[in-house]
Amino acid sequence: MAFDEELAARVRDELQPYARDLAEIKMFGGLCFTIRGNMVVGVEAERLMIRFDKARSDEILAKPHVTPMDFTGKVMNGFGFVAPEGYRTDKQLRGWIELCAGYVDGLPPKKPKKRKPPAPKA
């Protein structure tokens, strides 16, 4: 599934204050932005994926244009999707980025996963 390149560019611009610790990873069929290994936001098709404090789930999921993230059919606590109407303006997008980056910036760095070496060829 392709993701909205224009939205990805807008997200990159808003995440510039975190550029030193920022990375991009293709996952979930879209593009995820991480700070020190922790997902902050992402772009999946035309939706903005957001990450926030689980303790604020009820409050954030009650906002207009926000739905729970449920890739596997099970709701992922602390994650959600924002429809295009919810991030259309720069002010709206900036608000989501600040919310998510503010939460993730307080998390400890995520340790890189150890990769298994490829299996020997027979």
- pLDDT > 70: percent of the chain: 94
Does 55 score more than 80 pLDDT? Answer: yes
CATH match of 5-104 with 3.90.1150.30: yes
- pLDDT > 90: percent of the chain: 75
Question: Looking at residue 122, what is its pLDDT?
Answer: 64
Counting Cβ atoms within 10 Å, is residue 96 exposed (0-12), middle (13-18) or buried (19+)? buried
Of the candidates 16, 19, 22, 48, the one whose C-alpha atom is nearest the C-alpha of residue 35 is 22
Does 102 score more than 80 pLDDT? Answer: yes
Of the candidates 26, 31, 25, the one whose C-alpha atom is nearest the C-alpha of residue 44 is 31
